[in-house]
Structure 1
Amino acid sequence: MSTFQTARAALTVYYDGACPLCAAEIRLYRRSEEAERIAWVDVGPEGPAELGPGLTRGAARARFHVRRPDGTLVSGAAGFAALWAVLPRWRLLARLARLPGVLGLGEVAYRLFLPLRPWIARRVRSGGPRCDKACG
């Protein structure tokens, strides 16, 4: 996707397409209504070298990140909440994330999940590339 297209997107989502777990989750979101409003950027080994201010490929592969149209970068549970807010079928989760304390609990859960991600990814792999240390 060109820089112009990314700038016009409702959101830019950075994901590791080399991680089978990450790729499966992104496929789910990409099938959602209004997913075409989102710029989907695969940060795997074949992805773009430049990801914009404040984001390196290593950081993008280690943790979920999204960039809002104003350039603000959010990650982890806040990133998921931002994505859910753009997709109609997921907006209820975005609303729940805005309740007091919910986003903080989501971030704690996400941080607990991150060390398990490579192990889970190896088990859900469906012929895709191996998810290594960069995948978690």
Structure 2
Amino acid sequence: MITVYYDGKCGLCSREIGYFRKRTPKRPIVFHDIAKQPDVLERLGISQADALLYFHVEDEDGQLQSGVRAFALMWGQYRGWRVLAKLVVLPGVRPFVDMIYRKFAHMRFARYPHCKASLALDAQN
């Protein structure tokens, strides 16, 4: 079983997770909306701001993956997505895809007030 941590207040994120929730994965997947359930992050040692900035997935061994690797881990559980999952982590492809994803993630984070507010909450803790 893998665990997916996503931003439920982000329309794009919610639509993507909704798409995958309607499909049958190879193995069970647990989904946590970290915008509504920030307490699930405590045991992972990750701040809500970091979790909102980058997509995170916990693998079957309890290892936390983020960004492109996290997407690949989730996509690899679904028929029709496994080829893309393998492609984006190839050594010649991943640095480029990582760069694009990081730029997109920072633009998305800056766009949503709840993401910016999470920075203030993290600073208080």
Matched, 1:92 2:49: no
Question: How much has 1:13 moved relative to structure 2?
Answer: 0.5
Matched, 1:40 2:31: yes
Matched, 1:22 2:13: yes
Gaps in structure 1 of 5+ consecutive residues: 1-8, 122-130
In the alignment, the residues of structure 2 paired with residue 110 and residue 13 of structure 1 have an alpha-carbon distance, to the nearest angstrom, of: 17
State the percentage of identical aligned residues. 37
Matched, 1:134 2:115: yes
User: Alpha carbon RMSD of aligned pairs, Å?
Assistant: 2.2
8 Å contact 1:12–1:68 — kept in the other structure?
Answer: yes
Gaps in structure 2 of 5+ consecutive residues: 117-125
Q: Find 2:44's aligned residue among 48, 53, 59.
A: 53
Amino acid at match of 1:99: L
In the alignment, the residues of structure 2 paired with residue 96 and residue 53 of structure 1 have an alpha-carbon distance, to the nearest angstrom, of: 28
TM-score, normalised with respect to structure 1 = 0.73
Question: How much has 1:115 moved relative to structure 2?
Answer: 2.9
Q: Find 1:116's aligned residue among 93, 107, 119.
A: 107
TM-score, normalised with respect to structure 2 = 0.79
Amino acid at match of 2:39: A
Deviations 1:64-123 (A, max 9, x none): 00001111111011111111111122101012124222122111110121233257x7xx
Q: With CA pairs under 8 Å and 6+ residues apart, which has the higher RCO, 1 or 2?
A: 1
Deviations 1:46-71 (A, max 9, x none): 31413222322221111100001111
What is the DSSP-based 3-state SS (H/G/I as helix, E as strand, rest coil) of the residue aligned with 2:73?
A: helix
Aligned length: 115
8 Å contact 1:33–1:89 — kept in the other structure?
Answer: no
8 Å contact 2:27–2:77 — kept in the other structure?
Answer: no
Matched, 1:12 2:7: no
